[in-house]
Amino acid sequence: MILESDPGSAEDFAISIFKFSDPNMTGMLDPRSCRLGGINYYVLYITGYKIKVDQRSMSEKYQSFFIHDAKPLHILFDDVYKSKDVQVMKKVAMDSKR
């Protein structure tokens, strides 16, 4: 794609914005990979983006939630207490106290 000066479609590297459901929950972690609907993503905690890195199409469940110039912006709320993220945050906090 880069060598051909072709940015691809909006879905090729789809970006979705997720916000933690608890407004008091803040933090910054290293990027990590995850799967949504069987598709690979990377999570960037500084900005709250999840970026699709899989060549497969997004599952129908998530297709309306990626940034596209012809669609309204949707922000998904992520229940941090039911995610792997809160466990990682707790571990980082505990390790930093040592």
Which residue is listed with tokens 């709320």?
A: 77
pLDDT in tens, 42-89: 877 765 566 676 777 777 777 777 878 788 888 877 777 787 777 777
Query: How many CB atoms within 10 Å of residue 27?
Result: 14
Domain membership of residue 32 (yes or no) is: yes
Residue 6 located in a structural domain? no
* Structure token pair of residue 76: 């998904």
pTM of the entire structure? 0.56
Domain annotation covers residue 9: no
* Total domains in the fold of the chain: 1
